[in-house]
């Protein structure tokens, strides 16, 4: 009976374990770069969101007839733009004369966005133009 128990070995062989480890390695090699790309994309979305918020506030600003000159960020605070809560992004509005194209530049000072530090959008006209591409 004792010899019968010794011959009945259960468990995994070294080859089986190596195959499982290789499969896990292949899956990790596929999943980790995709996860990093997704995470990096979310870092850039805050600057894009800030530029779109400034753009919407500019549209609200110009909806009042007495506003004909390019606003500053301080003037936009009363038109729905309050900046990002806890954000370190800085915005610049360029466009001096009435009836000119206004460009909005948002700088991501946190440098966590791998595509660059600036996001640009134009008001009015075509949809946002991403200068990272």
What does the pLDDT look like over 34-67, one tens digit per residue?
A: 998 888 777 777 777 777 777 888 888 878 888 7
- Own/partner long-range contacts of 53-59 (Cβ < 8 Å, ≥24 apart): 53/80, 53/81, 54/81, 54/91, 54/93, 54/104, 54/106, 54/121, 55/104, 55/121, 55/123, 55/128, 56/80, 56/81, 57/81, 58/93, 58/102, 58/104, 58/123, 59/123, 59/124
Confidence grade of residue 68 (pLDDT, cut at 50, 70, 90): confident
């Amino acid at each position: 009976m004792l010899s019968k128990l010794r011959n009945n070995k259960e468990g995994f062989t070294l080859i089986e374990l190596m195959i499982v480890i290789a499969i896990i390695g292949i899956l990790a090699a596929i999943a980790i770069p995709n996860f990093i790309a997704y995470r990096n994309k979310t870092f850039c979305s805050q600057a894009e969101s800030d530029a779109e918020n400034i753009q919407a506030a500019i549209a609200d600003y110009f909806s009042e007839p007495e506003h004909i000159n390019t606003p500053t960020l301080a003037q936009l605070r009363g038109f729905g733009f309050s900046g990002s809560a806890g954000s370190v992004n800085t915005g610049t509005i360029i466009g001096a004369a009435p009836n000119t194209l206004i460009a909005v530049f948002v700088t991501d000072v946190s440098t966590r966005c791998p595509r660059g530090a600036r996001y640009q959008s134009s008001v009015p006209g075509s949809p946002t133009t991403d200068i990272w591409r």
